[in-house]
Amino acid sequence: MKKIIFLSSVILAFGCLQLKAQDTNKSESIDPLDISKQMEQIEKYGVPTIATVDEMKTKADVLYESQSWKEAALAYEFYAKNVNWLANLLSQCVEPYYSASYDDRKNTSYSTLKPFIPFESKANECKKQRNIAYVKIGLCYKNLGDMKSAIAYLHKALDLLSVDELSYWTMAKDAMAEILQFDVEKSK
């Protein structure tokens, strides 16, 4: 009996040591100065500027208006990824405020924050543009007859849209209803 208790204790202690070693390895692997994720994003998307994403949007809008659905879908996909990355970069300029403690944020004056507000506003505008792009991508795929892709993009767009984006919310809802053959009048 003593052997079983001793053996159980050794196994338990060994297991605890392994868990502690794994936790130590995890905390050692998190380098607060590691910029590899940022470099990956820059490698993937480059460094978007307001002007370059505006050009991408204009190109996608022209293709959409000319009903070049496949080309428009691809152009909006490229634009959506870049405008989203731009939004993230702009939001990062305000990150010290969001990372601060509640008390530090509460004690930060409006005059201190005022120069940073345009960054947050532009980031939010970029996110709205990304959301609209997703609606248009879904509509492009719907027009192409690719209902799987249409549903995927419309679904994501409806996830991302806010209630103040009513016209695009309505467009996405109507397209989804049409694809799903859901007649609102018949459902009443």
The pLDDT tens digits for 154-165 are 999 999 999 999
Give pLDDT tens digits for 125-145: 999 999 999 999 999 999 999
What burial class does residue 8 get, using C-beta atoms within 10 Å of its C-beta: 0-12 exposed, 13-18 middle, 19+ buried? exposed
R_g of the chain computed on alpha carbons: 25
Q: Is the pLDDT of residue 10 over 90?
A: no
Q: What is the pLDDT of residues 20-53, one digit of tens each?
A: 555 555 555 788 899 999 999 899 889 999 999 9
Q: pTM for the whole thing?
A: 0.79
Can you list the alpha helix ranges (DSSP code H) found in 1-101?
2-29, 36-45, 50-65, 69-92, 95-99
What does the alpha-carbon distance between residue 146 and residue 72 come to, in Å, rounded to a whole number?
14
